Amino acid sequence: MQAAVRAAAAAGQGVRVVATGHSFTPVHLTDGTLLDLDNLRGVLGIDAASGRARALPGTTIGDLGDPLWEAGLALANQGDIDTQCIAGAIGTATHGSGISLTSISGWLRRCRLVTGGGDVVEIDETQPDLLAAAQVAVGMLGVMTEVEIQTVPAYRLVERIEHWSFDELIGQFDARVARHRHFSSWWCPTEQSPGLYGLTMEPGKPGADACYVKLYDEAPADLPDSATPRRRVDRSYRIYPDVFEPNFHELEYFVRYERAAEALGAMRELMLASQPDAIFPLEIRTVAADTAYLSPQYETPTLVLSVSGQPGADYWPYLRSVDRLLGGEFGARVHWGKLHFLTAEQLHERYPQAQAFIDIRRRLDPDGVFLNDHLRPLFA
């Protein structure tokens, strides 16, 4: 790894790492060396007492489920799929839903990196500035070769899938977000929308302008596991992942939670009133505040809004209108692994620690070996 980075740097070429390549942004692209760390996969050690787990960067979220469970532990939260690598998920602040739960980046406690000069550095909690930069680095500080994350005691989940109107969603939003471990929803603008994400709405109820709602709470110890559809009870890591057809390109923006109801109403209006391409559901989630410099949740809990376009269609006018609304009127931050239109000026306006991140990036990679055409305009 060190030799590969040094050789590329000496040849004046860039280096990027690809994990499972689930990001929709061209974060992996390089005309230099592309490192695939598929072979660096596996759990290295679990300390049940502290809840710390060490893993190689190519270990998937799904790979962590059974070994953690056997040690009496679990990941605090998970996103919609579990096939991403832990280093890729950390690198882009991949998240699930839960107002008291941070993104996966927030769990990083230590990592080993090969820097732009080919040196190996260890970053841990004794270097809070470096750790805050490394927690969401989009591969710009170096190649992660090992990570250590904080986990939580193992838990099972009770799932409830419900069918609500948009007014019910807005009316109960704050109370439900506060009450449930996981509260999320897909608001579906058209009858065709639920099918695009494989969502089964309740028969006899309208699919258009309706919400597919997911509520997950910790299962009491005396409640047995159950496979009943829409009412499953199981280990957390078996409940979280959904199954998706790869039929969408996604944009995801993060709005300060205090403006959640306003942003939800504005998105519904935009999608119904002026955007005929807006047929994929609007995914609605929340994430807790953290302290990572490039985190969308830096020092603020957020409402997360995701929309998608169909591959092959010209979805850019629609996505640009979402950017104008959420970026322009709500100052939204962006998901580094999903489509966005962020400029350098907006980066500095919306991410108070962007310059602190860039200063650390320049220290660890002074020649910009890990930048590419997508990242250079923002972070050089």
Query: Can you give the binding site for ligand FAD, defined by CB under 6 A?
Result: 16-23, 27-28, 37, 57, 79-81, 84-85, 87-89, 91-92, 94-95, 138-139, 143-144, 244, 335, 337
- Closest approach, Cβ 336 to ligand FAD, in A, equals 7
- Cβ of residue 273: shortest distance to ligand FAD, in angstroms? 28
Pick the closer one to ligand FAD by CB: 166 or 240.
240
Closest approach, Cβ 193 to ligand FAD, in A, equals 17
Cα separation, 87 vs 90, whole angstroms: 5
Task: Report how far residue 212's alpha carbon sits from residue 197's, in angstroms, rounded to the nearest whole number.
Answer: 11
Q: Give 16's strand partners.
A: 34
Q: CA–CA distance from 118 to each of 188, 310, 327 (Å)? A: 48, 40, 37
Residue with smaller CB distance to ligand FAD, 92 or 302? 92
Say which amino acid occupies 188: C
In whole angstroms, the minimum distance from the beta carbon of 61 to ligand FAD comes to: 9
Contacts of 343 (CB under 8 A, 6+ apart): 377, 378
Q: How many residues does the chain have?
A: 380
Shortest approach of ligand FAD to residue 283 CB, angstroms? 8
Residue with tokens 């504005």, as numbered in its chain: 266
CB nearer to ligand FAD: give 302 or 346.
302
The C-alpha atoms of residue 283 and residue 214 are separated, in whole angstroms, by 11
Comparing CB distances to ligand FAD, the nearer of 71 and 267 is 267
Closer residue to ligand FAD in complex, CB, 71/357: 357
Rounded CA separation 325/263 (Å):
9
Query: Measured between alpha carbons, how far is residue 149 from residues 80, 90, 104, 152 in Å?
Result: 20, 10, 9, 10
Residue 26 or 72: which CB sits closer to ligand FAD?
26
Nearest-angstrom CA–CA distance, 254 and 69? 31
- Return the number of the residue (9 or 71) whose C-beta is nearest ligand FAD: 9
Q: Which is nearer to ligand FAD, 219 or 251 (CB)?
A: 251
Residue number with CB closer to ligand FAD (21 or 128): 21
Q: Please state the closest distance from residue 89 (CB atom) to ligand FAD, in A.
A: 5
Can you read off the two tokens belonging to residue 247?
A: 């039929």
Q: Are 96 and 110 in contact (CB under 8 A)?
A: no
- Are 156 and 234 spatial neighbours (Cβ–Cβ below 8 Å)? yes
- The span from the CA of 224 to the CA of 216, in Å, is 15
Residue with smaller CB distance to ligand FAD, 58 or 207: 58
Segment holding 347, helix H or strand E: helix 344-350
Tell me the CB-side half-sphere exposure of residue 201, using CA atoms within 13 A.
26
The minimum distance between CB 368 and ligand FAD, in angstroms, equals 14
Residue nearest to ligand FAD (CB): 88
Q: Is 356 helix (H, G, I), strand (E, B) or coil?
A: helix
Pairing of strands 233-235, 249-256: unpaired
| β 282-287/15-18 pair status | unpaired
To the nearest 10°, the Cα dihedral for 5, 38, 29, 363?
-40
